Structure 1
Amino acid sequence: MKFQSYSFGKSSIVSKLLIIIGFAFSLAACEWGDEIESLAQPDPDDFAVLNADTVTVNLSTIGTDSLQTGATLRLLYGTYKDPYFGRVKTMGFFQPTINGSESVAQEAQYDSLILSLRYDNKYSYGDSTKPMNLTVHKLLKDITDIPADAAYWNHNLTPYDPVAIGKVTITPRPRTSSVLRIRLSDVLGKQVFEKARANQLGSADWIDLVKGLVLVPGSTDNSAIIAFRRDSLSTSVQLHYHTPSVSEYKKDSAVFQVTASYNHVTADPAGTQLAKLPANKRIALPSTESGNMAFMQAGTGIMLRVDLPYLRNFRFAQYTAINKAFLKIKPLRGTVTNAYTLPPVLYLYRVDKNNQFYTDANGAPLAVSILGGQGGAYSPLVNDLIKNEQYYRFDISSYATELMVSETGDVGGIIIRSSPFKASGLFRETGSEYSQSVDRLVVGDQRNTTEKGVELELYYTKVKPK
């Protein structure tokens, strides 16, 4: 690769900017071993690379009317009172069933009906050292009885029998324990056993007896949200029985594995700043009306919106070109504890003025792209031990550039969430961290007197006129 020789001595201001930008892109395109013959160096007094961190950033909070939580990889259970989000409650709905049929020998004798739940040791939220009351109830409706293209949402609530068929009080240790076993009603257990002994326990017969189950937390509990693994090898209903004989005492079991599930996840914000959150998703709650704070919470569908209302004014600054833009988000320090941890990663998506997601050619929500087409913008949580702070830092240079060149400046805002969407399919939230957790984030705006939690790091080149 060769470059022609240029001189900056008598060039115009516009020419200087064009040459500087062209030079930067040309260097990026060079490979090792390319030859650069001659290039007159610009006078360093002609331009300067500067940065600014005082650009206005507006924050607001958006509530969603629904969030897909069907076909989840976790069953969530528990309730606690959050100082910022109110009473958070989760219930796991699921249907265990069988393929084919189950039968037992005539001489077999019933032992028990057990619900076996394997902890998801990667997830819990809140204070899991407090006792938790768990009851198991039978559903009154088959949860699979919906159209094939329909979905279950966080606000769905399948009717269930108020009389529990199993109950237990636990102090969970999800990171050290493996399995929780709950003995279910012997009345139900013997009904299941007798049908199996009579060779009348096919999948339809089981559904007649057990349309599904739900895990319900105690109404006065104030502890944590814990998770159980939903896969067929982890959560099941087990019918235990034995067959006595002269030579041995043989135990056996029939296993009913989970084939469908969803999580009910709600938050009652009464008494908190989020009590002001509009029910209409199209209307955001400005941080100036919520204690100079903005909020995000997975599971309940609460999202944090970022807008840069005055960045476009840089286009009117003479002889100036933006190089890089980084959005820095710092959680409000007092909101983070051992119980209320931060999302490990955050992702950025684009919405219009009505908080509707922009979409790509496949109909998928449009991510804030990284300059150069390297995918969507995201940031892991950074723990800065030197400055004693935690933050997320996103490269939004592409978004800032689009805002600068837009004739109207109407390029929408940015949404922050804790996991990406799926690129295709009807159920883009299925299995996402945002749909199967209650991780949350509280950020102070630029007017927050406790801790300013947002800033735009802007790096730009300014050419000095002669």
Structure 2
Amino acid sequence: MNSAVRRLFFFFFSFAALTACEDPKDIGLELQDENLIGTEFTDTLTIETGTVFQGDSIPSFRSQPPLLGQYIDPVLGKVRASTITEVTLNGTSLNFGTGARADSLVLTLDYSFKYADTLKAMQVNVHRVTGTFDERTSYFTTTPFAYNSDPVGSKTFLPRIDTETVNGATTKTTRLLKIKLSNELANEFMAQSGLAGLADQAGFKNFFKGLALTVPEDENASIVGLTLSSTNSNLALHYTTADGTARQHNFLLGTDNYFTQLTSDRTGTAVEALQSSGNYAPASETGGDSYVQAGTQLLSRIDFPYLDKLKDLPGNLIINRAELIIPVKAASSSNNLSRPPQLVLYETNSANQFLRDIAGTVRAVQQDGVNPLAASFPALVTSSRKNGIDYYTMNVTSYLQGVMMGMKSNNGLMLGAVTSASNSDRTVTIRPELRPYRAIVTNNEANPVRLLIYYSKLQ
């Protein structure tokens, strides 16, 4: 008897028994309600997992937060982020007065997010941009942008965000990053006083196209999420007037164009071979693990190869409720490499592409009770913990009902990190998460991915 036949025989034997290996109440799910009384239960379906590189471009124009830094994940390799930003004049017809002299030009950056080893100092380099933003161009994490290779300023700093709670109100205080730029650039700014370069925003962009914020190629520290629109973030020209008065003018950040560049290098990792869009590594080849990493388009694929066999059972089978249980390795939270706070299950095909509706919206598993063919009510995966084991859980009733009724094909799902926004009409908008959260999904004999199904049969 070959392995495929043995698996199929095991499937029918397990299902005929209709006795799950665990009582659902022991799994940490809130599935017991009056609507499930008298239904039957199984969690013995075979589930296959693996890692996909989904190479669709990720839009990052004005995405929040713009990212900066680099670290080396011991499991998934190097992740690098840079930010390209324009600067806003903050005024018109700027004139600092005859005889004024530049003292310094200082870039101050606020941030609200840090990821990876924030106990290591990181070096930030500031470059002068030579490229120009084009309103006809879409900007993605992979979009190149020209800037001078020699930095006009550099600073090593230790990211720090202090949290204080007083009378139930929590406030965060950031150790601001201040970088003194070159005296030559400060003098260039001062030389434009009263001229076209400081007359209006168009003239200013022609004179000074913006900043590229980068880190050295060999950096291994952390990534921070910048808050360019913070009142603390600016480019300040400090100068002294002819009569000796010290003054400054703040050029603004975050009000014009900016975007994040994000790259990864998986050399030497278990998923090194995932280089082209659609490449797949089964968990059986990566120690039973599969991976989700935001920003780099690594997703965990989940397949139910024998799900259609449910239709072969005697009588008409009705899915009352279905829950997907996805164990997550504890290592996902080590080294300050925390898991994505929000995920969805995308619908896919054999080529590991995102499925889309007629309007081009990416299809994801919908909330319970929603038409399986809808695309505007994606369900968010939630985190839970039981007996020291972390899980992702998701109600997939709508999806399974769609498959059983022939409304959907059983082509598999892909677990990916997202950010979400609820709209006034109760629809939910999702977009790929850029912050490089990652999770390690396990699917082995000790901790398998499971599909809990409550069903009824009409004879």
**Pairwise same-fold verdict (TM > 0.5):** yes
* Structure 1 alignment gaps of length 5 or more: 1-26, 29-46, 425-429
| Higher Rg of the two aligned structures | 1
- Counterparts of 1:224-243 in structure 2, within 5 Å, are 224-231=222-229, 233-243=231-241
Query: In the alignment, does 2:235 pair up with 1:251?
Result: no
Structure 1 residue 178: deviation in Å? 4.4
Match of 2:94 in 1: 102
8 Å Cα contact 2:308/2:410 also seen in 1 = no
2:77 is equivalent to residue 75 of structure 1: no
Question: 1:301: which partner in 2?
Answer: 297
Q: 2:384 is matched with which residue?
A: 382
1:57-68 aligned at under 5 Å gives the runs 57-65=47-55, 66-68=57-59
1:418 maps to a residue whose letter is: A
Partners of 1:72 and 1:230 within 8 A in 2: no
Measured after TM superposition, the shift of residue 51 of structure 1 is 2.0
Q: Which moved more, 1:291-300 or 1:315-324?
A: 315-324
- Structure 1 Cα separation of the partners of residues 260 and 272 of structure 2: 23
Tell whether the 8 Å contact from 2:78 to 2:266 is kept in structure 1 after alignment: yes
Alignment partner of 1:112 is 2:104: yes
Aligned residue number for residue 189 of structure 1 = 186
Question: What secondary structure, in the 3-state scheme, does the structure 1 residue paired with 2:192 have?
Answer: helix
Any conservation in 2 of the 1:90–1:263 contact (CA below 8 Å)? yes
Cα displacement (A) at 1:159: 2.3
Asked if 1 retains the 8 angstrom alpha-carbon contact of 2:41 and 2:455, the reply is yes
TM-score with structure 1 setting the length: 0.78
Is contact 1:58–1:306 with CA below 8 Å preserved after alignment? yes
Superposed counterparts of 1:160-171, under 5 Å: 160-171=147-158
CA contact (8 A) 1:113 1:189 kept: yes
The answer to whether structure 1 residue 406 and structure 2 residue 406 are counterparts is yes
Q: Residue 344 and residue 421 in structure 1: after superposition, are their counterparts in 2 closer, same or farther (change >3 A)? A: closer
Cα distance, 1:346–1:382 mapped onto 2, change above 3 Å: same
Residue 132 of structure 1 contacts residue 223 of structure 1 at CA under 8 Å; is this kept in 2? yes
Aligned-partner Cα distance in 2 for 1:69–1:313 = 42
Residues 370, 398 of structure 2: 8 Å contact kept: no
State the one-letter code of the partner of 2:384. V
Residues 64 and 153 of structure 1: CA distance in aligned 2, closer, same or farther (over 3 Å): farther
Given that 2:110 and 2:230 are in contact with CA atoms closer than 8 Å, whether structure 1 keeps it comes out as no
Q: Deviations over 1:350-376 (max 9, x none)?
A: 122323322235321122112312932
Aligned equivalents of 1:209 and 1:453: distance in 2? 59
> Which position in structure 1 is the counterpart of 2:288?
292
In 1: Cα distance, 2:414 partner to 2:248 partner: 53
8 Å CA contact 2:77, 2:267 repeated in 1? yes
Counterparts of 2:283 and 2:193, CA distance in 1: 60
Q: Which moved more, 1:353-362 or 1:435-444?
A: 353-362
SS in structure 1 at match of 2:268: coil
Pair 1:145-2:134 in alignment = yes
Aligned with 1:273: secondary structure? Answer: coil
In structure 2, C-alpha distance between the alignment counterparts of 1:136 and 1:154, rounded to whole Å: 19
Contact 2:77 2:266 survives alignment (8 Å): yes
Of 263, 269, 291, the match for 1:266: 263
Q: Is the contact between residue 294 and residue 340 of structure 2 (CA under 8 Å) also seen in structure 1?
A: no
Runs of 4+ in 1 over 4 A off after TM superposition: 197-200, 420-424
RMSD: 2.8
Deviations 1:418-459 (A, max 9, x none): 2257799xxxxx995x34300111112235xxx525211111
SS in 2 for 1:335: helix
Identity of aligned residues (%): 26
Tell me the alpha carbon deviations over residues 284-332 of structure 1, each in whole angstroms, 9 at most, x when there is no partner.
3222233322111111122222121112211111244332110111211
Aligned to 2:14: none
Gapped regions of structure 2 (runs ≥ 5): 1-33, 163-172, 372-376, 424-428
Match of 2:325 among 328, 351, 371: 328
Residues 410-449 of structure 1 aligned to structure 2 (within 5 Å): 410-420=409-419, 432=431, 434-446=432-444
- CA, structure 1 residues 124+383, in 2 after alignment: closer, same or farther (shift >3 Å)? farther
In the superposition, relative to structure 1, how do residues 158 and 261 fare at CA in structure 2: closer, same or farther (>3 Å)? Answer: same
CA distance in 2, matches of 1:446, 1:462: 31
CA distance in 2, matches of 1:381, 1:271: 30
Q: How does 1:304-319 map to 2 (within 5 A)?
A: 304-319=300-315
Displacement after TM superposition at 1:209 (Å): 3.7
Match among 434, 453, 458 for residue 458 of structure 1? 453
Change (3 A) 1:309 1:215: same
Q: Secondary structure in 2 aligned to 1:459?
A: strand
Is residue 296–residue 304 contact of structure 1 (8 Å, CA) maintained in 2? yes
Corresponding position of 1:32: none
Question: Contact (CA 8 Å) 1:276, 1:290: kept in 2 or not?
Answer: no
| Partner of residue 3, structure 1 | none
Tell me whether 1:52 sits opposite 2:49 in the alignment.
no
The residue identity in structure 1 corresponding to 2:382 is: P
In the alignment, which of 124, 134, 151 is matched to residue 114 of structure 2? 124
Is contact 1:132–1:218 with CA below 8 Å preserved after alignment? no
Whole-angstrom CA distance in 2 between matches of 1:188 and 1:218: 22
- SS of match in other structure, 1:102: coil
Equivalent residue number for residue 42 of structure 1: none
| Partner deviation per Cα, 1:379-408 (whole Å, 9 max, x = no partner) | 232244xx122212100011111222228x
What does residue 396 of structure 1 align with?
396
Matched letter for residue 253 of structure 2:
Q
Contact 1:95 1:211 in 2 (8 A): yes
Q: 1:254 to 1:222 in 2, by over 3 A?
A: closer
CA contact (8 A) 1:126 1:224 kept: yes
Query: How many correspondences in the alignment?
Result: 401
Structure 2 residue aligned with 1:39: none
